[in-house]
Each structure stands twice: as structure tokens, then as C-alpha cells.
């Protein structure tokens, strides 16, 4: 029975305490507008800094790629030089072997 007597008072107290929270003006006011303007300005500054940072990063990356391209070109030139040297050695060794065999065969033909 006590619950039946306390329940209406409890409901009344809860409604009295919650009504002021609903009484606030939830519309868009001047303070909200100023807050949005400040937020927009801060966002523009942030975007400007971010764009500047990305531009600097892009420039650094382009410089690095140019360095890598230059180094790659140097390596390819060096490989062409090495292949030329080894080809020359191979041709020289084959020519020497051919000359040596030909000379030995000529001497053998002359001696008998």
C-alpha cells in the first residue's frame, strides 16, 4: 500500500525535475552562428596548412624521384659499359684461341 501512496509523488517529482530541461530553446541562435563562423575560419586555416604541407611533401617526393631516376640512369650506363668490356674480352679470347690453333696447325703442316 505504501507504494501506491509514494508512486504519484515520485512521478510528480520526476516530471517537475525534467520539465525545466525541456524548456530550453533548442533553436539556432546567435551564439550557435558565431560558433559555426569560428569553426569555419579554423577549418579554412587548417585546410590551408594541410594543402601547404601536401604541396611541400609532393615537391620533396618529386626531388627524390628525380634523384632516383638519375641514379638509375647512371647504373644503366655503368651496366652498358661493363657489358661492352666483357663482350670485348670474350671476342679477344675467341680471336686469340682461333689464332693460336691456326698457328699450331700451320706449324704442324710445315714440319713433316
- Cα 92 to Cα 84: distance, rounded to the nearest angstrom: 12
Q: What is the pLDDT of residue 106?
A: 82
pLDDT tens readout for residues 55-87: 999 999 999 999 999 999 999 999 999 999 999
Instruction: Write out the residue range of the structural domain in which residue 44 sits.
Output: 2-110
- Cα 65 to Cα 57: distance, rounded to the nearest angstrom: 12
Record the pTM: 0.49
- Cα 88 to Cα 81: distance, rounded to the nearest angstrom: 11
Statement: residue 34 has pLDDT above 80: yes
Q: What is the pLDDT of residue 111?
A: 67
Q: What integer is the mean pLDDT of 34-38?
A: 92
Statement: residue 1 has pLDDT above 60: no
Kindly indicate the confidence band of residue 31, based on its pLDDT and cuts at 50, 70 and 90.
confident
Domain count, the chain: 1
Amino acid at each position: 500500500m505504501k507504494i501506491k501512496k509514494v508512486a504519484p509523488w515520485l512521478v510528480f517529482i520526476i516530471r517537475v525535475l525534467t520539465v525545466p530541461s525541456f524548456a530550453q530553446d533548442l533553436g539556432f541562435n546567435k551564439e550557435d552562428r558565431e560558433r559555426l563562423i569560428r569553426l569555419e575560419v579554423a577549418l579554412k586555416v587548417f585546410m590551408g596548412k594541410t594543402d601547404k604541407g601536401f604541396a611541400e611533401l609532393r615537391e620533396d617526393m618529386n626531388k627524390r624521384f628525380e634523384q632516383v631516376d638519375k641514379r638509375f640512369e647512371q647504373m644503366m650506363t655503368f651496366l652498358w659499359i661493363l657489358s661492352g668490356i666483357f663482350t670485348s674480352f670474350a671476342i679477344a679470347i675467341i680471336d686469340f684461341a682461333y689464332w693460336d690453333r691456326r698457328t699450331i696447325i700451320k706449324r704442324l703442316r710445315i714440319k713433316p
